[in-house]
Structure 1
Amino acid sequence: MTIMIIGLLIFLGSHSIRIFAENWRQQKVAQLGLPTWKLAYSAVSVVGLAIAIYGFGQMRLEPIYIWFPPMGLRHAVALLMLPAFILLVAAYIPRNAIKAKLGHPMLLAVKVWALSHLLVNGRFGDIIFFAAFLVWGILAFKAAKKRDRANPPAVTATSIPATIATVVIGVVAYALFAFHLHSLLIGVSVFG
């Protein structure tokens, strides 16, 4: 579990710079240039995520159970993950109404994903993993909204086709992940 925690500290720590050290970040961007900053930030993030995922897999080999969630909660997770995928897609499709209304759909997707997975995972390591992402998501969303209030983003016109595409792609991505990729990549069948 130590490896997972180290990975989480690296990954979520790098992603917390805008929460706790925005001025330092701005200084580094000015000093290094945005492309160099993004490259360094991405490298640290990828390394941290890889370590966290590896540690998560290792933690599952010797689980410590805190509680045993009722099987019925799996249905709640399956239901909650549908809007999480749509929110995730909304972060990337320009001019969709979901992003225009919510502002930071990626952070909302992380919060829904983490909370829903806390419902069905009773192992100590799982609780640490998903709770860390949930706490980070809450803090990052709060910080992003504070930045928006200080410097409001430009209002862009929304597009009905972009919004429909966001929902359709989100539903398709959800179906692919729920019915195929989750069991292949995570080793747990969503509906089995």
Structure 2
Amino acid sequence: MAGWGEFVLAYAAFLLSHVIPTRPAIRDPAAAVLGQRGFTLAYSLLSVVLLTWLIVAAGRAPYVGLWDHAVWQRWAVNLAMPVALALVVFGLGAPNPLSFGGRAAGFDPDRPGIAGVARHPLLWALLLWASAHMIANGDLAHVLLFGGFALFSAMGMRMIDRRKRRRMPDWAQLAARTSAFPFAALMTGRWRPRGGPSVWRLAVWLAVWLALLWLHLPVIGADPLP
């Protein structure tokens, strides 16, 4: 299948880049040189660059249609994206030692915040984004792209929970009022929100959502609206 080389190479590079933060032999020397904040920024920049390349490579791959486009598919994306963005905006920087990269300082298991909505808000955001975009892009390259992200996020949540259970003796107590599935703790009565959402986070969420709607056509080349 000629023309798939760039897509395969970009996908491999993106996946291999995620080995860096999990390998102390690679991560620790880099963090020693750059500092922890510098390493985080550098790795984040690398991830964004490789993700951009992967998305561009998927668009350049030969078109192999798997299903036809329909208006309802765009509605699926437009309904999923505000939820996914809310999980990102409210999840980033929030105290949450139960998920990857989350800090323990400031986390109150009786008032878990965004973890009460979803224990892994960023991975749920990735799952929603990928699943909705896979539905709306019925060609082989984009199904492989978004399907891979969806699988990665779903498996990642299970792996993180298993790892945290092993390493945190008080995991059950800390996770008692959190949700493996969004709003599960709310529906079962294990968690009740206290107080309203942060106004500045709401403002950021709205600004990012509108910016993505506005930039999607000129940057991605596809109109996101039905």
**Alignment TM class, shorter chain as reference:** 0.7 to 0.9
Q: How far apart, CA to CA, are the structure 2 residues paired with 1:10 and 1:177?
A: 26
Equivalent residues in 2 for 1:1-192, closer than 5 Å: 1-15=4-18, 22=22, 25-30=23-28, 32-33=30-31, 35=34, 38=39, 41-42=43-44, 45-59=47-61, 62-94=62-94, 97-99=113-115, 101-152=117-168, 160=195, 163-178=198-213, 180-192=214-226
- Extract unaligned runs of 5+ from structure 1: none
**Equivalent pair of 1:91/1:106 in contact (CA under 8 Å):** yes
Considering fraction of residues, name the structure with more helix. Answer: 1
Query: Partner letter of residue 200 of structure 2?
Result: A
Q: Which has the higher contact order (CA 8 A, sep 6+)?
A: 1
Per-residue deviation, 1:106 = 1.3
TM-score (norm 1): 0.76
**Equivalent pair of 2:88/2:122 in contact (CA under 8 Å):** yes
- Report the count of equivalent residues: 182
Give % identity.
Answer: 23
- Extract unaligned runs of 5+ from structure 2: 96-111, 175-192
Query: Partner letter of residue 81 of structure 2?
Result: M
Q: CA RMSD in A?
A: 3.1
Query: Partner letter of residue 7 of structure 2?
Result: M
TM-score (norm 2): 0.66
Per-residue deviation, 1:159 = 8.3
Name whichever of 29-38 and 114-123 sits farther off.
Answer: 29-38
Query: Partner letter of residue 116 of structure 1?
Result: A
Query: Partner letter of residue 97 of structure 1?
Result: G
**Equivalent pair of 2:20/2:27 in contact (CA under 8 Å):** no
Q: How far apart, CA to CA, are the structure 1 residues paired with 2:19 and 2:81?
A: 24
